[in-house]
C-alpha cells in the first residue's frame, strides 16, 4: 500500500548514508528516516539494511532502536524486519506478557500461508532457541492452549478444492460439540486445525444454511469461546477481521497503537488496500482520516506513509 520509490531512483548505499546522517548531530531527524524507510519495499529495505551493515559494521535495527523511541521506534523496527522475523518477534513479545494477546498468535497461525507459517516457526526457533509451540504451551492453559497449539502446529492444504460431504458432516459435528450439553473441544480443535481454509469456509457456509445463523452466533461467554471466535473469523474472512481490529484500535477510549501498527505494518504489502476499502464502507471515514484525527507527530507521519496517504 505504501508508495515505493522506483528501482531506477533507488540506491541502498545512498539510503544507508542518509539514515546514518539523520542519526548524527544533536538530535535525530525522524522525518528523514521516515521519508526513506516509509517508501521502500521489502526487497529494498533488505538491501538498505545490508548496505548499512557493510558500511558501518552495525545492524540498522540496532541503530534505529538507539535513535528512535516509543510507538515510532516499534513500528519502524517491525517494518524493517523480514516478515517471518517480524512475526516471530510479535509472537514472542505477546507470549512474554502475563496476559498474552491471543489475537497475535491466531493471526499468524490462521491467516499466514502454510509456507509463511513454517518460515515464522523457523525464525522463532532460530531467535529464541525454543519452538513457538513450546513457548505457546508454556504461556497458555487448558482449552485455549489446546486450540492455539493445534492451529499453530497446522500445515494446511492451500488449494481451493473442498469436499461438500465432509463439510456437511463437520458442520453438524461443530454444532453438536459447541452447543451440545456435553461440550467437547477435541473435535472442534481437530477440524479447525487440520482442514484447509476452503474446506472450513464450505463448512461454515453449510452451517449457516442448516442452522440459520453464523457459527459464532450464540457462542457461550468466556475466554475460550472468545479465542475460538477469533480463530473462526481469521479463517473465514481475514480482511473483514483486520478492518474490525483497526476500528477497535482507533475507536477505543484509549487508542491501541500496538494493534494499529501490527495491522498496518503486516498488511501494507499484502491486502491493506482491500482492508481500507472495507473500513471506509463500514465506518464512513477512511483509515487515513481516522489515523490523522487520533494521532500526531512522527508516528502519525510514518503510519500515513505506509497507508499511502502522504502521496494522495
Phi, psi dihedrals of residue 69, rounded to the nearest 5°: -150, 165
d(CA 148, CA 138): 12
Distance CA 86, CA 218 (A): 35
CA dihedral 74, 77, 82, 86 (to 10 degrees): -20
Q: Is 174:191 a contact under the CB 8 Å cutoff? A: yes
The alpha helices in 130-211, defined as continuous H runs, are 132-139, 142-152, 164-179, 185-194, 197-211
Q: Which residues lie below 8 Å from residue 193, measured CB to CB, with a gap of 6+?
A: 147, 150, 151, 153, 154
- Evaluate whether 228 touches 188 at the Cβ level (below 8 Å): yes
What residues contact residue 97 under an 8 Å CB cut-off, 6+ apart? none
Binding-site annotation: residue ranges = 25, 27, 67, 250, 292, 294
Exposed (0-12), middle (13-18) or buried (19+): which is 140, by Cβ within 10 Å? buried
Annotated binding site for Ca(2+), which residues? Answer: 25, 27, 67, 250, 292, 294
The answer to whether 16 touches 55, Cβ cutoff 8 Å, is: yes
Amino acid at each position: 500500500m505504501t508508495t515505493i520509490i522506483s528501482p531506477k531512483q533507488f540506491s541502498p548505499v545512498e539510503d544507508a548514508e542518509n539514515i546514518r546522517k539523520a542519526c548524527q548531530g544533536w538530535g535525530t531527524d525522524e522525518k528523514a528516516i521516515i521519508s526513506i524507510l516509509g517508501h521502500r519495499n521489502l526487497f529494498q529495505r533488505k538491501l538498505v539494511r545490508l548496505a548499512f551493515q557493510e558500511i558501518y559494521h552495525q545492524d540498522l535495527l540496532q541503530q534505529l532502536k538507539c535513535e528512535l523511541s516509543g510507538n515510532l521506534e516499534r513500528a519502524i523496527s517491525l517494518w524493517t524486519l523480514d516478515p517471518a522475523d517480524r512475526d516471530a518477534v510479535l509472537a514472542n513479545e505477546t507470549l512474554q506478557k502475563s496476559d498474552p494477546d491471543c489475537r497475535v498468535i491466531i493471526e499468524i497461525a490462521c491467516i499466514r500461508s502454510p509456507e509463511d507459517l513454517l518460515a515464522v516457526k523457523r525464525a522463532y526457533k532460530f531467535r529464541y532457541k525454543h519452538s513457538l509451540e513450546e513457548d505457546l504451551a508454556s504461556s497458555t492453559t487448558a482449552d485455549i492452549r489446546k486450540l492455539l497449539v493445534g492451529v499453530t502446529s497446522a500445515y494446511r492444504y492451500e488449494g481451493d478444492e473442498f469436499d461438500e460431504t465432509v463439510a456437511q458432516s463437520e458442520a453438524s459435528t461443530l454444532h453438536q460439540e459447541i452447543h451440545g450439553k456435553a461440550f467437547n473441544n477435541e473435535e472442534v480443535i481437530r477440524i479447525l486445525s487440520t482442514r484447509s481454509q476452503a474446506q472450513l469456509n464450505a463448512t461454515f457456509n453449510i452451517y449457516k444454511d442448516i442452522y440459520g445463523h453464523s457459527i459464532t452466533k450464540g457462542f457461550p461467554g468466556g475466554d475460550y469461546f472468545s479465542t475460538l471466535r477469533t480463530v473462526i473469523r481469521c479463517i473465514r474472512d481475514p480482511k473483514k477481521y483486520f478492518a474490525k481490529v483497526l476500528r477497535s484500535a482507533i475507536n477505543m477510549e484509549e487508542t491501541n497503537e500496538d494493534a494499529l501498527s501490527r495491522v498496518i505494518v503486516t498488511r501494507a504489502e499484502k491486502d491493506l488496500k482491500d482492508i481500507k476499502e472495507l473500513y471506509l464502507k463500514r465506518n464512513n471515514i477512511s483509515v487515513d482520516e481516522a489515523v490523522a484525527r487520533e494521532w500526531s507527530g512522527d508516528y502519525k507521519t510514518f503510519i500515513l506513509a505506509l497507508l499511502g496517504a502522504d502521496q494522495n
